[in-house]
Amino acid sequence: MCGRLAQYRAAQKYLASLGLDVRPLSRLAEEDIARYNVAPHSKVDLIRPTAAGYIWTAEKWGWTPAWDAKPARRDINATREKAARSKYFRQIWPHRALVCVDGWYEWCVVDGEKTKQPYFIRRADDEPLFLPAIGQFSEAGVEPGGHEGFRIITADSEGGMLDVHDRRPVVFGEEDARQWLSDIGSKGADQLLQERALPVADFTWYPVSRAVGSVRNEGRALIEPIS
């Protein structure tokens, strides 16, 4: 996963698909997010459980533990193979969140060209994508400590999507997304990751403008297919 998302529907539209009662904090529920070029290390809207119930809030996309003296250059993803088992993620594994998006981008090598071609990947039925994430979050009313952030969990691309990229975000259907946010425990959450990701057949992808390569560019034109 190369690390660029599209998140453009209103929060209430994602929530209608999920059927969850969520308190929106970062924006009005009916307000279109309208972000077609969401970059790492920016604040990204997500859902996370709290003692007072589920909240919709914006958190930094990217996390490194405070004790890591030599942090990895890529701090935005956690692999499905290691998220529940690695000591590196032990601190944040219990703190699950759900990133609701409309698709993501990957860049592919083109024979004879120096510049890679970006592709937009979405569900074939154009329904929202629910991406499991883990992170370090501050409690409401508590001053942030400076190390807050989250990572999206990725998996091997499997079969047909390998012509785009060898890894992709784990994507859940609605029921499994609700389970991910529930109090299912560590073993149940890991089982969801390993067994319940939507298959490659549920997705479609197509080439889009190279303009998406610059984080300064925005707008719906970025997700439109090109010939």
How far is 124 from 191, CA to CA, in rounded Å?
A: 25
CA atoms within 13 A on the CB side of 213: 10
Residue (of 149, 145, 153) closest to 40 by Cα position: 149
What residues are labeled active site? Answer: 2, 106
Is domain 5-223 in CATH 3.30.420.40, yes or no? no
Which pLDDT score, from 0 to 100, does residue 141 have?
63
Which pLDDT score, from 0 to 100, does residue 181 have?
97
Which pLDDT score, from 0 to 100, does residue 88 have?
94
How far is 186 from 93, CA to CA, in rounded Å?
A: 8
Which pLDDT score, from 0 to 100, does residue 159 have?
57
Q: Where are the domains of the chain?
A: 5-223
Tokens coding 110: 């083109």
Place of tokens 């990133």: 99
Which pLDDT score, from 0 to 100, does residue 143 have?
65
Q: Per residue of the chain (227 residues), what is the pLDDT tens digit?
A: 668 999 999 999 999 999 988 988 778 889 999 999 999 999 999 999 998 899 999 999 999 998 987 766 789 999 999 999 999 999 999 999 999 999 999 999 888 888 999 999 999 999 999 999 999 998 766 666 778 999 999 998 765 676 677 789 999 999 999 999 999 999 999 999 999 999 999 999 999 999 999 999 999 999 999 98
Residue pair 165/108 in contact by the 8 Å Cβ criterion: yes
**pTM reported for the whole predicted model:** 0.94
